[in-house]
Amino acid sequence: KVEIHKDLFPLDLSDFWGTLLVTGGLLIAASGGIGGGGILVPLLILVYGFSPKNAVALSNFCIVGSSITNMVLNIFKRHPSTDRPLVDWDL
């Protein structure tokens, strides 16, 4: 079954608010150290009108991007009180 969504352009008001809410949700999730799926999936369903199957897939892709970004930003940081990397690679 093929699902039909609107074209990306022109952007409408729900696209603007959805992008703002998804970005905010990812920022909150990343700062809290959680994946963000519990925030993103409902937003994608309610704001953008995705089916649950597509919302979960898109949420997983967003979380992978967020995880890679967090890793790149934290990979060279050092622990504040001892002389070792912030990321413990021996886990």
Q: Facing residues of 78 across strands? A: 85
Tokens of 52: 């649950």
pLDDT at site 86? 84
Of the candidates 79, 70, 86, the residue with the CA atom closest to the CA atom of residue 34 = 70
> What is the spatial distance between Cα 87 and Cα 47, in angstroms, rounded to a whole number?
36
Instruction: For residues 61-84, give the mean pLDDT.
Output: 85
Tokens of 8: 């990306």
pLDDT 10s digits, 1-40:
677 777 878 888 888 988 898 888 878 877 777 767 788 8
pLDDT at site 20? 92
Tokens of 12: 């409408």
pTM reported for the whole predicted model: 0.69
Of the candidates 49, 43, 50, 45, the residue with the CA atom closest to the CA atom of residue 28 = 43
Tokens of 54: 């597509």
Encoded amino acid at 91, one letter = L
Average pLDDT, the chain: 84
